[in-house]
Structure 1
């Protein structure tokens, strides 16, 4: 079932400025850095990930990405395809905790489905 939010990704245009804001202004702590452009913050149940993107987010673009846990991404993907859900790419891609794919809701909001299989 796809009914458990597992991560919240905040798209930013400058990862260092974002880390500074979230740690020094909002008192989050960094839990892990995945290279130069992705930083995970310490958070109780739902991880918050800061991800640097090439273009600055505007009000017309999505700045926060909802992540939903999948126990079996291949099975869920099959069911979503059968229902005509729009996929941003055809096959799951690798990510630090496992694999993911991005879908769109009817309004065009992106939702990341994540299968944790590394660790």
Structure 2
């Protein structure tokens, strides 16, 4: 990583409706709220890694996934087939109807209520 010693410290996810976003990230994806003292502008989620913060924005995202360049969050899961079924039943906005193959393992993508892309992947051994 260059000579700057840079590392990712915070991942900020811009969301246009904080209540919808918190419900999606907690109820649907299984995160917990670490701190909501900055609500409704900032809500920090529990994450084993860089800080994960939901940040209020004026409007939803318009990602051109998978063709356009964008930053995505990838969540490693133990059973991607079960997660696909669970999220389909939850009514989440799936961006793939079936599992996709990649060199590192099967995955699928879902959009959060603001249009941000989340990929869930089961890494191959």
Give the TM-score, by structure 1 length.
0.48
More strand by share: 1
